[in-house]
Amino acid sequence: MAEILSLHDAVTRYVEDGTTVAMEGFTHLIPFAAGHEVIRQGKRDLTLVRMTPDLIYDQLIGAGCAKKVIFSWGGNPGVGSLHRLRDAVEKGWPHRVEILEHSHAAMACAFEAGAAGLPLAVLRGYVGSELPNVNDQIKFIECPFTGERLAAVPSVRPDVSIVHAQKADRAGNVLVEGIVGVQKEAVLAATHSIVTVEEIVDDLDTHPNACVIPGWAIDAIAVAEQGSLPSYAHGYYPRNNRFYKEWDAIARDRDTFTQWIEENVMNAGETA
Amino acid sequence: MAEILSLHDAVTRYVEDGTTVAMEGFTHLIPFAAGHEVIRQGKRDLTLVRMTPDLIYDQLIGAGCAKKVIFSWGGNPGVGSLHRLRDAVEKGWPHRVEILEHSHAAMACAFEAGAAGLPLAVLRGYVGSELPNVNDQIKFIECPFTGERLAAVPSVRPDVSIVHAQKADRAGNVLVEGIVGVQKEAVLAATHSIVTVEEIVDDLDTHPNACVIPGWAIDAIAVAEQGSLPSYAHGYYPRNNRFYKEWDAIARDRDTFTQWIEENVMNAGETA
Amino acid sequence: MSHVEKNLDYTAGEMMTVTAARALENGTTCFVGIGLPSEAANLARLTHAPDVVLIYESGTLQTKPEVLPLSIGDGELAETALTTVSVPEMFRYWLQGGKINLGFLGTAQIDRYCNLNTTLIGDYTAPKVRLPGGGGAPEIATNAGEVFITLKHSKRAFVDQVDFITTLGFGRDGKGRDGVPNIGKGPTRVITDLCVMKPDPETKELVVVSLHPGVSAEQVQEATGWEIRFTETLESTPEPSARELEVLRGLKERTAQAHAGQ
Amino acid sequence: MSHVEKNLDYTAGEMMTVTAARALENGTTCFVGIGLPSEAANLARLTHAPDVVLIYESGTLQTKPEVLPLSIGDGELAETALTTVSVPEMFRYWLQGGKINLGFLGTAQIDRYCNLNTTLIGDYTAPKVRLPGGGGAPEIATNAGEVFITLKHSKRAFVDQVDFITTLGFGRDGKGRDGVPNIGKGPTRVITDLCVMKPDPETKELVVVSLHPGVSAEQVQEATGWEIRFTETLESTPEPSARELEVLRGLKERTAQAHAGQ
């Protein structure tokens, strides 16, 4: 049953050093406020799972929280590189970060399989790609009915998943609307889950087949207003595309990055 | 691209003798009008796929349309037996019907896999059940990551799927709302698809994550008002539970059944 | 079953439903079979377990029907649900994904080791009676945390060996779950109109743990197709309360009216 | 590239986008990559192909953005879509399920056999430049009916052998799709700011089939990292029309305004 906690307490309770964490949200509803709280609490050696690391993992990696990143597309969407991810992989700053790399299709299926309680996902994938040469977690099986060779990847089963959503009701039932990504899958696949929301309401006021995650499938709900900025929340605020562009210059340099984190995360209080 | 046809023409074009047909709708939105049209057109040797044969397949079987039935629960929900299915299986009337039997979980996964373009579905299923002894299409594979033994079934890929839905717009985009069952999966898994709808509207007037099947993924749309009675259409009319109970007596006897079909299907015109 | 003196007037069927309902703890996520389990689960929700989460395989999550559904997918279930998901999602994410504490099932046949048969009587290729089949049960029984079973007690239903194991209890030898990874506890309670049974912790054979008021051990044995064991600490099942009977009868009356009206 | 005499004034980039857009047939279901493919696909939709179906991997089905998205999941895409599905559904039902006629991709590196590299420059364990990675491309390239690729022509991008095959064109030997069941045709067209290329029907090696107005074969060779072949029936790519340029410029202007405003 979802407990309504402060973001600070939710992160303290569920994110430990060494934890495998998935902070999901496909471009939309990225849980930046929660990511910042993880940075503020100085968590270390995290295995960070996310289809698109985006700025949120660029920040966590640069701040030294990550031991390993599992991902399928690690760029700044429409802008260019994630400089902190690159600096860690290419030059080992602030320390070396291990990577495990998939395609989107495989990772989406791996989240789906995790939610479905399966140990593996099977897909028509990776044909002719050299990713299986560098990722020993990509295997191939033979269909017992047709003999077709199909790719198999382990399902994603994070210790903790963190997602952001529009709203929760007082029983902790959560509505996700718009681009729903793999957020529901991330929550259902994880041992524990934290959902940050724009607001808590009396009634979700929704439609028969809405993407609602029941409160009993969630561990903690925390209110984080504008908690996905510079990403966006459908119905609440738009994506701050300008900031995504500005991030390129901020993150390119270790010092400007460190200063940005200091000013905007470390010294910014729990709402940043 | 969906073509808007009469139900007669849609069935004539896509359902041939010997075709594998899935008429889906999980209790809700069962395409009875289409089933009746198939009976009226005297189709033979059909392989009928459906999780719950329900009255619709009881009628098709009793009317002599079926060669084989693939299903996972063949009763009259809340009432008792499907007498026409039983008479065919137990006594071979009007002729012997072959059956291939799954569990709901396997069949739901098989529809999902069919929609996903895969040859098989993998599930944690059939443990300790004797169904694999009588269905050679249930096999077991070993997970290459964990060694766990998992069930595998072939995906469902019908020649034609027929479903009923609330409404279509003029481009043939279809809204399904309420209990959506495996209807979307049935349409996407099939080579061809027919969707009957209560009405065609200018605008589906729906929400961001509604279950909408695009017109370009459908072959034919046919208007069939009250086309799922005695099943129901959320937002249009309720389930005729009384008729489901009455069916028990009608279907129990070959003569009353034959007479019912004669009066209510054969002589009833295209709208029945 | 002969009626004996009771504090309140109720039927054996009501006794069964109330007992089954009481077994359901508040807050449980329960995957509900249609018929008797659905009746008991909704009675629980309307009495001592307002926060029980009822889930039907039609995709209706956390539903609160005002009247009992006739089918597993009546409109009432979708209209009163928190949300409705596709059937593949229901079986994959919610059941197989390990979100269900309890599966609540009925059956046509049950045997000494709690295996269930809803497939057929006789031989598979030439059945005497063809039953509806497995439906959701085979995977509910293995993927839910545990399973309750409720059905009327009779020699036709309680057989030494089921004709066909549609749904695993503990297998033909009671060891069907041993060493199987990622499997639920299986049946933990069987509630009939005569008594409550539980599997022996060691052998998994069904043992009567409680007799309903006015029911004798002989009656249970007569209605059971094998030599049934009784626990040493055999209890008497508590009677239904006036409140439970009132709520149950109200529910059934609303249901009868609703289904007759269409 | 030096500008030469043309009927209208336009840039090489505009020539590329217009040519890529024209390649898209009305009614096609197109899985759209972000950046240049998205620009071209939306230009097509706003000009000759109003019924082209644009699908982005964020789950937005049949979307009609007024301004170009910066990311693959801008709000604009969901707000103008027919519906939005989950990302697993997008990759499973719509892409892998065979509903996509055409995948429209960009890339960082491309080689003689149309293999794409978006993973890294250098060695995998010690990369010189780490690129974003595969994203949707590996399965778009194999599960879509066919693939168009659009990118700027340069020696850094057009290499004899990619450092890493992220996404299959035709493999290191041109035979990477031979005998593979259930695979799309692969790349059928590469559109750059200099020319249009197609794979040779036999060897699958990229061949220039059309030069953009004012571009010489030498220019193409200079910008290509291997000895590029030209077809015997080399054509001149038709120029953009005034209407196409007007629509494209309007689209880019609206986009710039929208993105600056936040």
Of A27, A182, A241, the CB nearest to D262: A241
| CB-based contact C57:C31 (threshold 8 Å) | yes
- Under an 8 A CB cutoff, do B115 and D93 touch? yes
Assigned domain for A132 exists? no
Q: Any CB–CB contact under 8 A between B249 and chain A? A: no
Q: Any CB–CB contact under 8 A between C90 and chain B? A: yes
Assigned domain for A150 exists? no
Assigned domain for C88 exists? yes
What count of other Cβ atoms lies within 10 Å of the Cβ of residue A68? 14
Assigned domain for D7 exists? no
Assigned domain for B129 exists? no
Q: What is the pLDDT of residue D2?
A: 44
Residue numbers in C near B51 (CB within 8 A): 87
CATH number at residue D124: 3.40.1080.10
Assigned domain for B151 exists? no
Q: What is the pLDDT of residue A78?
A: 87
Q: C211-231 in b/e burial notation, b at 16+ Cβ within 10 A?
A: bbbbbeeebbeebbbeebebe
A29 closest CA partner among A54, A6, A10: A54
The parent domain of residue B258 ranges over: 3-102+157-266
D98: nearest CA in chain A?
A124
- Under an 8 A CB cutoff, do D142 and A127 touch? yes
Q: Any CB–CB contact under 8 A between C127 and chain B? A: yes
Q: Scan residues 21-50 of D and list those with Cβ closer than 8 Å to A.
A: 34-35
The full 3-state SS of A248-263, as one line of letters, equals HHHHHCHHHHHHHHHH
Assigned domain for A142 exists? no
pLDDT tens digits, residue range B233-242?
999 999 999 9
- pTM for the full predicted model: 0.97
Assigned domain for D4 exists? no
Instruction: Give the C-alpha separation, B3 to B10, whole Å.
Output: 9
- Under an 8 A CB cutoff, do D57 and A104 touch? yes
Measure D49 CA to nearest chain A CA, in Å. 25
The parent domain of residue C250 ranges over: 12-256
The phi, psi pair for C176, rounded to 5°, reads -65, -20
Strands D120-122, D195-199: pairing kind: unpaired
- Under an 8 A CB cutoff, do A145 and B119 touch? yes
Is C57 known to be catalytic?
Answer: yes
Q: What is the pLDDT of residue C5?
A: 55
Q: What is the pLDDT of residue B268?
A: 86
Give mean pLDDT, residues B139-165.
Answer: 98
Q: A104-119 in b/e burial notation, b at 16+ Cβ within 10 A?
A: bbbbbbbbbbbbbbbb
CATH number at residue A224: 3.40.1080.10
Number of domains forming the structure of chain B: 1
Number of domains forming the structure of chain C: 1
Contacts of C5 (CB under 8 A, 6+ apart): C214
Strands B174-176, A98-101: pairing kind: unpaired
C104 closest CA partner among C47, C208, C206, C19: C19
In DSSP terms, which residues pair with B165 in a beta bridge? Answer: B197
Residue numbers in C near A208 (CB within 8 A): 78-79, 81, 83-84
Please report where in the chains the tokens 């020696």 appear, as a residue.
D155
Amino acid in the structure at residue C107: T
Q: What is the pLDDT of residue A17?
A: 98
Summary mean pLDDT of chain B: 97
Task: Look up residue B46 and give its DSSP letter.
Answer: E
The full 3-state SS of chain D, as one line of letters, equals CCCCCCCCCCCHHHHHHHHHHHCCCCCCEEEECCCHHHHHHHHHHHCCCCCCEEECCCCEEEECCCCCCCCCCCHHHHHCEEEECCHHHHHHHHHHCCCCCEEEECCCEEECCCCEECCEEECCCCEEEECCCCCCHHHHHHHCCEEEEECCCCCCCEECCCCCCCECCCCCCCCCCCCCCCCCCCEEEEECCCEEEEECCCCCCEEEEEECCCCCHHHHHHCCCCCCEEEEEEEECCCCCHHHHHHHHHHHHHHHHHHHCC
Measure C218 CA to nearest chain B CA, in Å. 31
pLDDT tens digits, residue range D22-56?
999 999 999 999 999 999 999 999 999 999 999 99
Q: Any CB–CB contact under 8 A between D92 and chain B? A: yes
ipTM value of the model? Answer: 0.97
Q: Scan residues 219-248 of D and list those with Cβ closer than 8 Å to B.
A: none
Summary mean pLDDT of chain C: 95
Measure B107 CA to nearest chain C CA, in Å. 9
Three-class DSSP category at C171: coil
Of A77, A241, A242, the CB nearest to D72: A77
**Which of C52, C82, C85, C95 is the best mutation test for A, with the most CBs of A within 10 A?**
C82
CB contacts < 8 A (A, B)? 70
Instruction: Give the C-alpha separation, C261 to A135, whole Å.
Output: 62
Neighbour subunits, C (≥3 Cβ pairs < 8 A): A, B
Measure D175 CA to nearest chain B CA, in Å. 24
- Under an 8 A CB cutoff, do C57 and B104 touch? yes
Please report where in the chains the tokens 């098709």 appear, as a residue.
B60
Contacts of C193 (CB under 8 A, 6+ apart): C1, C12, C13, C15, C16, C152, C153, C212
Residue numbers in C near B90 (CB within 8 A): 127-130
Q: Any CB–CB contact under 8 A between B105 and chain A? A: no
Give mean pLDDT, residues B47-67.
Answer: 98
Q: What is the pLDDT of residue D1?
A: 42
- Under an 8 A CB cutoff, do A209 and C61 touch? no
Of C71, C86, C124, the CB nearest to B134: C124
Q: Any CB–CB contact under 8 A between A146 and chain B? A: yes
Burial (CB count <10 Å: 0-12, 13-18, 19+), residue C156: exposed
Neighbour subunits, D (≥3 Cβ pairs < 8 A): A, B
Assigned domain for A200 exists? yes
Of D57, D76, D139, D244, the catalytic one is D57
- Under an 8 A CB cutoff, do B210 and A211 touch? no
The vertex-B235 CA angle with B231 and B238, nearest 5°, equals 35
The full 3-state SS of chain A, as one line of letters, equals CCEECCHHHHHHHHCCCCCEEEECCCCECCCHHHHHHHHHCCCCCEEEECCCCHHHHHHHHHCCCEEEEEECCCEECCCEECHHHHHHHHHCCCCCCEEEECCHHHHHHHHHHHHCCCCEEEECCCCCCCHHHHCCCCEEEECCCCCCEEEEEECCCCCEEEEEEEEEECCCCEEECCCCCCHHHHHHHCCEEEEEEEEEECCCCCCCCCEEECHHHCCEEEECCCCCCCCEECCCECCCHHHHHHHHHHHHCHHHHHHHHHHHHHCCCCCC
Burial (CB count <10 Å: 0-12, 13-18, 19+), residue D189: buried
Assigned domain for D1 exists? no
- Under an 8 A CB cutoff, do B214 and D182 touch? no
User: In sequence order, what E strands does B6-89 have?
Assistant: 20-23, 46-49, 66-71, 75-76, 80-81
- List average pLDDT for each run of 10 residues in chain A, which is 272 residues long: 96 98 98 98 98 98 98 95 96 96 98 98 98 98 98 98 98 97 98 98 96 98 98 96 96 98 90 64
Paired tokens of D33: 């990559």
Q: What is the pLDDT of residue B269?
A: 75
The vertex-D184 CA angle with A122 and D22, nearest 5°, equals 130
Instruction: Give the C-alpha separation, D105 to D237, whole Å.
Output: 21
Instruction: Give the C-alpha separation, D53 to D64, whole Å.
Output: 9
Q: B196-228 in b/e burial notation, b at 16+ Cβ within 10 A?
A: bbbeeeeebebbbbbbbbbbbbbbbbbbbebbb
Assigned domain for B195 exists? yes
Provide the residue-wise pLDDT of chain D in tens; the chain has 262 residues. 444 556 779 999 999 999 999 999 999 999 999 999 999 999 999 999 999 999 999 999 999 999 999 999 999 999 999 999 999 999 999 999 999 999 999 999 999 999 999 999 999 988 999 999 999 999 999 999 999 999 999 999 999 999 999 999 999 999 999 999 999 999 999 999 999 999 999 999 999 999 999 999 999 999 999 999 999 999 999 999 999 999 999 999 999 998 876 5
Assigned domain for D175 exists? yes
Instruction: Give the C-alpha separation, B221 to B215, whole Å.
Output: 9
Neighbour subunits, A (≥3 Cβ pairs < 8 A): B, C, D
B185: nearest CA in chain D?
D93
**Which of C93, C96, C102, C183 is the best mutation test for A, with the most CBs of A within 10 A?**
C93
Indicate if the pLDDT at residue C1 is higher than 60. Answer: no
Measure A210 CA to nearest chain B CA, in Å. 7
| Helices C36-46, C12-22: crossing angle, 10 deg rounding | 60
Strands C102-105, D229-236: pairing kind: unpaired
Indicate if the pLDDT at residue C261 is higher than 90. Answer: no
| CB-based contact B36:B228 (threshold 8 Å) | no
Instruction: Give the C-alpha separation, D199 to D146, whole Å.
Output: 12
Assigned domain for C25 exists? yes
Of C75, C87, C143, the CB nearest to B234: C75
Paired tokens of D152: 């700027």
- Under an 8 A CB cutoff, do A216 and C143 touch? no
- Under an 8 A CB cutoff, do D29 and B216 touch? yes
A182: nearest CA in chain D?
D87
Q: Any CB–CB contact under 8 A between D260 and chain A? A: yes
pLDDT tens digits, residue range C22-43?
999 999 999 999 999 999 999 9
